A = this chain, B = another copy of it.
Amino acid sequence: MRINTLCRRLLPAAIACAVGTSGAVLAADPEEIIEYRQGAMQVTKYHFSTIADMLKGKIEYDQAAVEKHADVVQMMSTLVKDEFPEGTDALAGETGALIDIWDKPDEFADKVAEFEKTASELEDVAESGDRERLAKAVKDVGSSCKACHDDFRQDE
């Protein structure tokens, strides 16, 4: 274990409180933040996969619903950068979050920014009702999810 990793793990979890880049101040309890973060991932996955399922014909296509789901995915994408504050790194390994999130913050931030960008495009395209462009936008969001999970999430 590297020294900086060790030091971080020795930091009392209770002092964890970070100001994210969006200005969202996070609550202090790492367990609560992790529970929230995992919930946020579920919410994102659900709304995103519902759009994908509509495009695949698994469930009926519904334009108003697609727009709503895309709005939620976009909103959720803006929260990710604040979901991994210092303090929650002490629990890396116990959750799917790899310590690389905190060891390579710039690379992680790039992946998160890519998710925000693709989710914002998804929201824009969803309003157009153009299913071909929507399929492309869904694919791009999916790729940004995968790119981040490949590097920063434990294999399931």
Contact = CB atoms under 8 A, between A and B. Distances in A.
Given A19-B62, A22-B68, A27 B39 contact: no
A58 B27 CA distance: 9
Q: Chain A interface mostly helix, strand, loop or mixed?
A: helix
B27 A60 contact: no
Given A43-B40, A50-B27, A79 B75 contact: no
Interface stretch (A5-13, A28-36, A114-122, A143-151): A28-36
A39 to B, nearest CB: 3
Contacts of A53: 27
Nearest to A60: B25
Contacts of A54: 25
